[in-house]
């Protein structure tokens, strides 16, 4: 009989983030050990009871879902896997700040930092604001169904902070960019390279990297947190060097952000 994989999507963390588990393969996050995955989740759910109520109990409810054929449900032992995760959860600790910086899997590292209160982290490490800049932008507004509501003027402000690397065991300081969501007015932090520390607008533009040959063919950019969506004028095959956008390119192409 063909073996089917059952994937369950679970809401985790803030801002509507989700996590897809492969129940059949007993895998929480692709290419990440379940121990490390649970260390990440322990930073979100804080204790076993919250982990059960907001995570494993939801996974167990797959048995009651009418959209999954019975033969697929029989191909895995969901309860057994959830029991294993709950037992392991009691023995893991959330990633510390310095451990998060050392994670080599960049995608997983971004997830871990998403589970850490960056503002609290920066306050704990010690920081100093070293540069501020702003820019007038026009952004499209959409309703929940994706319909265009119009265009609004915004004044975007960006601040660069020098953060002490001493408590992280580093011999040098690191730099973070503070910005605000135009739809919620909540603050967000982005780690930047030291070459951009004196240029906040160039710093935020540098967080977008793309193949150099695609840049002339970009129609517009839309940003949602760390996710950047690119609309092209035409289909172009990505080739060659990957580069950061300049501030002029980034803000000239950005039409929406949230």
Please check the confidence at residue 62 and state whether its pLDDT lies above 70.
no
- 74: buried, middle or exposed (CB in 10 Å: 19+, 13-18, 0-12)? exposed
The token pair that represents 221 in the structure block: 């950019």
From residue 207, how far is each of 124, 180, 187, 230 by CA, in Å?
24, 15, 16, 14
* Shared domain check, 145 and 104: no
- Show which of 115, 150, 167 is a domain's final residue: 115
| Residues 6+ away with beta carbon under 8 Å from 144 | none
Asked which of 41-50, 59-68, 184-193, 198-207 is least confident by mean pLDDT, the reply is 59-68
Nearest to 200 by CA among 166, 250, 241, 165: 250
Domain that holds residue 98: 7-115
Q: At which residue do the structure tokens 């060097």 appear?
A: 241
Backbone torsions φ then ψ of 202, nearest 5 degrees: -65, -35
Instruction: Express each pLDDT in 105-162 by its tens digit.
Output: 988 988 888 888 888 889 999 999 999 999 998 888 877 777 888 888 888 999 999 9
Instruction: Express each pLDDT in 184-223 by its tens digit.
Output: 777 888 889 999 999 999 999 999 999 999 999 999 998 8
How many structural domains does the chain have?
Answer: 2
Give this prediction's pTM: 0.71
* Shared domain check, 107 and 201: no
* Shared domain check, 124 and 31: no
Phi-psi region of 240 (alpha: psi -120 to 50; beta: other; left: phi over 0): left
- Show which of 115, 144, 169 is a domain's final residue: 115
CA distance 115 to 42: 9
* Shared domain check, 190 and 64: no
Nearest to 230 by CA among 244, 214, 243: 214
* Shared domain check, 247 and 236: yes
* Shared domain check, 70 and 24: yes
According to the model, what pLDDT value does residue 210 have?
Answer: 93
């Amino acid at each position: 009989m063909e073996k089917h994989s059952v994937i369950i999507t679970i809401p985790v963390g803030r801002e509507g983030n989700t996590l897809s588990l492969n129940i059949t393969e007993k895998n929480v996050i692709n290419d990440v050990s379940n121990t490390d995955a649970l260390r990440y989740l322990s930073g979100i759910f804080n204790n076993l009871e919250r982990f059960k109520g907001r995570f494993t109990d939801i996974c167990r409810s797959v048995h009651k879902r009418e959209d999954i054929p019975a033969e697929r449900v029989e191909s895995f032992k969901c309860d057994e896997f959830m029991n294993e995760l709950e037992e392991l959860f009691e023995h893991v600790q959330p990633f510390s700040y310095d451990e998060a910086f050392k994670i080599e899997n960049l995608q997983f590292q971004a997830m871990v930092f998403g589970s850490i209160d960056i503002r609290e982290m920066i306050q704990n490490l010690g920081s100093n604001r070293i540069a501020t800049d702003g820019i007038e932008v026009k952004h499209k507004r959409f309703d929940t169904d994706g319909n265009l509501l119009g265009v609004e003027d915004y004044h975007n402000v960006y601040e660069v902070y020098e953060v002490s690397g001493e408590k992280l065991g580093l011999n040098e300081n690191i730099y973070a960019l503070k910005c605000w969501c135009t739809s919620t007015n909540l603050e967000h932090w982005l780690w930047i390279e030291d070459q951009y520390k004196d240029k906040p607008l160039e710093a935020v533009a540098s967080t977008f990297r793309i193949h150099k040959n695609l840049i002339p063919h970009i129609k517009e950019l839309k940003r949602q947190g760390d996710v950047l969506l690119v609309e092209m004028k035409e289909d172009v095959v990505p080739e060659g060097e990957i580069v950061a956008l300049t501030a002029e390119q980034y803000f000239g192409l950005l039409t929406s952000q949230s």
